[in-house]
Amino acid sequence: MSVKPYKTEKSSKKQQVANMFNNIAGKYDFLNHFLSMGIDKLWRKRAIDSLKHLKEPYILDVATGTGDLAIMANKRLGAKVTGVDISVEMLKVAEKKIKDSDLEDVIDVLEGDSENLPFSDETFDAVTVAFGVRNYENLNKGLTEMTRVLKPGGLMIILEFSRPAVFPFRQLYFFYFKKMLPFFGGMISKDKAAYEYLPESVLNFPDGETFDKELRKAGMRPVERKKQTFGIATIYVAEKQKTQ
């Protein structure tokens, strides 16, 4: 069964995720950096640096949120970036950041659904997602759509939470994730359900080799898995096969 943020509501996961991010958009960046002690910025940098061999690529950033990864892709790679997200309020934050950084000519964002991307086949040199794929209502459909809009030989870079395996870090991590994070996240954002959903969605996400299988089913070839900070997060690198 798909994990949803608001268990008492009957709406789809997609709609609930959009509502959740609309609710917490104003506090999202602060909470991200506060609750991760800033290490999420390093993870994003490493994810983008997986594309450092590309020269001024055209990148699609799915679940772009407040635009951090899109802005970093431009600054580190000179990339042109299009970001899509289902949360209008998150996109408003992203638009302000892009305007304040004077990047409106090279980064654009629009409301969009990962399972029905409004782009032609083989449009982008790379597709990126940071902490977004576990929120997809239909994981295979989302990954397949991302594959469709990627050029042959293009790369898909996915940064997502995973489950540490090393004792005692695993136990400490899950205590923090299940107890501390919902408390502080709920108190600051005023939406406790959103930060109860976070650890639940991670626990139900098919990470590691299981996620590589999902990438293969979507038409991608897994290239590398890079564990971050004892396995709290993982960067997945996959390539779209070139046509013969």
The 10s digit of each residue's pLDDT in 178-234 is: 888 888 888 989 998 998 998 899 889 999 999 999 999 999 999 999 999 999 999
Cα 15 from Cα 26, distance rounded (Å)? 19
pLDDT value at residue 225: 97
Domains and CATH numbers, the chain: 13-240 (3.40.50.150)
CA distances from 104 to 111, 123, 129, 163 (A): 16, 20, 20, 37
How many Å separate Cα 85 from the centre of its chain?
10
Helical segments of 101-206, H only? 139-148, 169-175, 181-189, 192-203
Give the Cα separation of 172 and 164 in Å (integer): 10
Helix (H, G, I), strand (E, B) or coil at 150: strand
Beta-bridge mates of residue 127: 60, 156
Amino acid at 19: N
Name residues whose C-beta falls within 8 Å of residue 45's C-beta, 6 or more positions apart in sequence. 72, 76
In angstroms, the Cα distances linking 72 to 27, 59, 62 are 20, 12, 14
Q: Which residues contact 243 (CB under 8 A, 6 or more apart)?
A: 152
Please give the Cα distance from 198 to 41 (Å, whole number). 18
Place of tokens 């409004």: 118
The pLDDT value given to residue 181: 84
The low-confidence residues of the chain, meaning pLDDT below 70, are 1, 244
* H-state helical runs in 64-189: 68-77, 88-100, 139-148, 169-175, 181-189
Determine the pLDDT at residue 33: 82
